[in-house]
Amino acid sequence: MPECRLERTVRPARDMTTGFFSHPDCLLHEMGEWHPECPARLQAIEDQLIASRIDALIERDDSAPLAVDAALLRVHTQAHLDYLRELSPQEGYAAIDPDTSMNPHTLQAALRAAGVAVAATDAVIEGRYENAFCSVRPPGHHAEPARAMGFCFFNNVAVAARHALDVHGLSRVAIVDFDVHHGNGTEAAFAGDSRVLMCSIFQHPFYPFSGADNQAPNMVNVPMPARSKGMDVREAIDIMWLPRLHEFKPEMVFVSAGFDAHREDDLGNLGLVEDDYAWITEQIREVAKRHAKGRIVSCLEGGYNLSALGRSVVAHLRALADI
């Protein structure tokens, strides 16, 4: 009798879905009732997925493990990991800066958020999904190799990008960041690394007051003045980002997907709307389709007006999934 083997079938690209990665642990971190980076952000995204009726058109995955030290140490120092573990409180809050603190569950949530980004990277590279969105918190792009700051503890996108390079052996990856704040942590991790091209737009001057000067050759930072509208941002992306991305020919694209540049978000002062996020995502998808087999992993960063956040994520997902 012939041997019967069960093998996982890898679907052809045209049948692939967009993976939606999250985990309940990401709801456990909170920094006080007053804080805009709150668990309700992920719940608002869930509500809009249901309201928009695209919930059934994406494939959910909430099985990601916690990030292991080896993955984190590709970006962060051992001293940084030790500091967060030592600071993690048994009760109440432990402050890192005036806007960033840990509760007893923060470390678990931060490890899970980075683990989700790594798991999504594995899934996309292995061909289980064409692309993926990670609905995670705490966010990551302000976390520098040796410093937590700006609501961020581990740099989720940077950890995932290093995983793609060092574990999967990719030669070139691009990181695109459209949060209203400059991703100083991601820049600190990759400035001067010829395997990585980082393209970002951000309001300037604005927190964290970086990114506009002394750019490394692999950084395409585009500071935008306050009150810039969607067409201003689209023009900047068309002129500044896209030629560099096509010239670079990334084998995978990572996205720091912050939605606080939305005109309804009080934490920034830019004027983007849902159609702008859809357009930006379509440009990223075209780059990935042309050079990277469509491979994209997008991780949630900012976005603090709950209604605008949910609607913007839906627009982003529609463009990722081409629906």
Residue 168's Cβ-count burial label (10 Å; 0-12, 13-18, 19+) is: middle
291 is catalytic: no
Q: What is the Cα–Cα distance from 117 to 134, expressed in whole angstroms?
A: 6
Q: What are the C-alpha distances in Å from 40 to residues 228, 292, 305?
A: 28, 34, 10
In this structure, the number of other CB atoms found within 10 A of the CB of residue 245 comes to 25
> Tokens 């920094």 belong to which residue?
31
DSSP state of 237: I
Alpha-carbon distance 120 to 61, whole Å? 9
Query: Which one of 23, 80, 142, 181 is the catalytic residue?
Result: 142
- Can you give the length of the chain in residues? 323
d(CA 184, CA 200): 10
Query: CB within 8 A of 145, min separation 6: which ones?
Result: 75, 76, 77, 80, 185, 188, 189
The total of other beta-carbon atoms located within 10 Å of residue 162's CB is 24
The C-alpha atoms of residue 228 and residue 270 are separated, in whole angstroms, by: 5
**Residues labelled catalytic:** 142
